[in-house]
Amino acid sequence: MQRFEEYLIAHLPKAPSFHPIFDEALNVMLLAGGKRFRPQLLLAVVDAYVPMLREGAYPVAMALEMFHTYSLVHDDLPVMDNADLRRGEPTLHKRYDEVTAVLVGDALNTHAFYLIADAPLHNDVKIALVKELAYNGGIGGMVLGQAIDCYFEGKKLDPEQVDFLHEYKTGRLIAASLKMGAIIAGLDDESQRKLFDFGLDLGLLFQIQDDIIDVTESSETAGKTTGNDEDKNSYIAHFGLSGSCERADILAEKIRVQLEGFDLPLREELEAILSKYLYRHKNP
């Protein structure tokens, strides 16, 4: 991922204005790092099938990272999670102010689609990529999940509704990352669907693991505000720590089996990424 990181730093967004802090605020959370998990998934699929398109896929990978970062900036706002720390840095509304944080999130969201539209890929591919990100990052995915999460805060959902909430809030953007890599690689519809479904399981695993981290790690260790989900419909709230770990074990094993069914190049690419994440709930 070193090459992608270099690409990201070299192509940080810059606003053409005299605003004294906007460019800095726009890039603080991008430069703060993070796992770059969604770009890694997209690039893994591209590398497995058409590695010569890797450079052309970089703008799309960066778009995913920017879109995900926008969601974190807005998620941390006082009106939502009211968090103080993200990626080891003060959240943007703490570092600057709420207006700046809201507008930075808006800018990262919209600029993500500009990057896809400007990528050196066939127009039909770019339209499919925009469609995938817009739907799974919006009313067909993340935004809907966030709306459910916020509306039902303090109100206990059924277990099936908890899965629905987190599939949409977390899983669908991860699933879309894999499918977008498949779109760039020119894979058939069935292969795209298989990768998307795999991503949904992966997203739920990540959410359960994050819920475990929220109750087992300090904010300093996690690099983000923890202990902040008491009134949320988290997996810990519904199944407890032990039950959540059991669910994570089941999902991790399911994902491991699914990996074995992928083509060897794809399996090797994905295993290289997932090896450090698949069982991270074992050592919270």
- pLDDT reported for residue 133: 98
Distance of CA 24 to the CA centre of its chain: 22
Residue 138 CA: distances (Å) to CA of 71, 171, 265: 11, 13, 31
What pLDDT is stored for residue 227 in this prediction? Answer: 63
Contact 185, 169 (CB under 8 A): no
pLDDT digit of tens for each residue in the chain (284 aa)?
Answer: 789 999 999 999 999 999 999 999 999 999 998 999 999 999 999 999 999 999 999 999 999 999 999 999 999 999 999 999 999 999 999 999 999 999 999 999 999 999 999 999 999 999 999 999 999 999 999 999 999 999 999 999 999 999 999 999 999 999 999 999 999 999 999 999 999 999 999 999 999 999 998 888 777 776 777 766 677 899 999 999 999 999 999 999 999 999 999 999 999 999 999 998 998 887 65
Six token digits for residue 90? 């003060």
Q: Is the dihedral of CA 242, 246, 248, 249 positive or negative?
A: positive
The length of the chain is 284
Rounded CA separation 271/246 (Å): 22
H/E segment holding residue 85: strand 85-86
**Residue 84 in tokens:** 């103080």
Tokens representing 263 are 């083509």
Domains and CATH numbers, the chain: 2-282 (1.10.600.10)
How many helical (H) and strand (E) elements, i.e. helices and strands, does the chain have? 14, 2
3-state secondary structure of 29: helix
Instruction: Tell me if 208 sits within 8 A of 247, measured CB to CB.
Output: yes
The CA distance from 98 to 101, in Å, is 5
Q: What is the DSSP string of 99-126?
A: HHHHHHHHHHHHHHHHHHHHSSS-HHHH
Residues 6+ apart with CB under 8 A from 218: 226
Measured CA to CA, the distance from residue 184 to residue 68 in angstroms comes to 19
pLDDT attached to residue 225: 72
Contacts by 50-55, CB closer than 8 A, 24 or more apart: 50/184, 50/185, 50/186, 53/121, 53/184, 53/185
| Tokens (6 digits) for 257 | 């089996």
